[in-house]
Structure 1
Amino acid sequence: MATPDPHEVAAHDQSESHRYVVHYPEHGSRPGDPHYKDFDHYHRATKDDPELYQCAVGRRRGDFSDCTLDKPLELHHTHIEWALQNEVDLALLARQYPGVDTPDEVGAWVETAENLEWLCQFHHRGHGGAHVASASDFEGQHFVRGLIS
């Protein structure tokens, strides 16, 4: 009989709970946003395109079995959430996205394809979603089936 590896950890379930405070900057309402028209245009232009209107998690996997497909998909701001744009450090953003270095450019960029992706309800706002699960767990479930239940 083989000797068990003392460093091996058996499969197990682990409850996770995260609690912290997010400090949202002052921001206007969505209807008052001058760039909302860009979000709305992207929404309308891609909703009927079967190549684009797919949950990004399911598309990356090539498998939509963990997706909530009985409800409409939702657009997710992947890098900068709309409500955070007023406090973006422009130098940090422009370093990764050259040319986006004024407040108006940030507002416009937030509503572009570079910052938007379709997600099913589970992967957007559900307990396995980008707005609920930790970043490492959300990313991990792209490659591990049933990671979050």
Structure 2
Amino acid sequence: MEWWKTIAPLVGVVLGSLGTLLGQKLSDSRTLRRDRLLAKEEAKIRLIAERVAIQREAIMEIQHGLEGIMAAHELAPGQSPTAEFRAAETQAGLFLRAHIARLEDRELAASALAWVGPHRNAAAARTALDSLQHRLSSHLRALYADQ
């Protein structure tokens, strides 16, 4: 009896199995690498979308808050602000500052914070507000254009 005739098919089966396992391992690693890259890209896209949504929301809240503060400062002639009015104004100012802090454009945020400070008169405040509102709107349009 020739022993190699018995062992040769077993060696063939073992080598074939090892080749199959190696090919499967390489295929799985490529698939895993591709899945990781896709997950990373999806996470990056989701993060960008969330950042843009936060910026949009912040800008819209800032615009609304600025208009509210401007309207609150336009008291009738001879009318003085009450303690309740001052408390509401402080609360609105804190709310507005919180949204301004969320802006990524630091120059725009600094301009908004500067406007929240005291003004010489209502006309100067309105002029500064109109300019700031225009800049905020332009920034908002740019965010919508990026999407």
What range is the shorter-chain TM-score in?
under 0.3
Query: Which structure dedicates a bigger proportion of its chain to helix?
Result: 2
Q: TM-score, normalised by structure 1?
A: 0.21
Larger Rg: 2
Q: TM-score, normalised by structure 2?
A: 0.21
Query: Which structure dedicates a bigger proportion of its chain to strand?
Result: 1
